[in-house]
Structure 1
């Protein structure tokens, strides 16, 4: 039942017990009419992306999608999914490590160094001719026909 979209259990004399807690649901809850009006907020716990309102707090949804306005101004940066300072630091370290690895390989192996400079030259030549072919040439002289 991983891809269930609807479930009809009518005319089965079932008791009114309903819980979809901790199912990673998202979106809006069903309207609080008929039997759905009898279920409390504990039926929906554990679904952080589910947006529901209950009579005790009609002005504010109990569960809502996180937004940038909901972030706290704590020392940890607001408790987002990723600590951005660590992300930037690790990205910078990874970038530097890749550059150092490429530079050390090119210094050690002369064949790879020669091949590297050959392909850089080919790429530069192709880029030059691409610009020559695709950039508009300013018109210096306009020929008037009488």
Structure 2
């Protein structure tokens, strides 16, 4: 248990003494980050700094559902473009189209979706052009 502040001694003096004595005992010698600059010290204050730092450290990202779906649709088009067969292209586009239709029916939170199902035949034509020419 920590000792109590003696009467008649200011808190600042009492705390300073405790810190000095702990330093003399070497209690701060092996702390993580010792001798390294404080990260992001020169950046403007952000009240959610600790949340953002935790997300970066855990390699997690968060997008509102509408933006996440836009990203998923973009990834699906890239996957369709790299597909090995026309059948695979059609399956990929059909899957993302179903997800988009469901989102339009039920609604998602976030910015406006601004996304419509893809024209399967157009995507297949582009795939053929890339793979057959």
More helix by share: 2
Q: When the two structures are superposed, what TM-score results if normalisation uses the length of structure 2?
A: 0.28
Structure having the higher strand fraction is: 1
**TM-score with structure 1 setting the length:** 0.26
**Which one has a bigger Cα radius of gyration?**
1
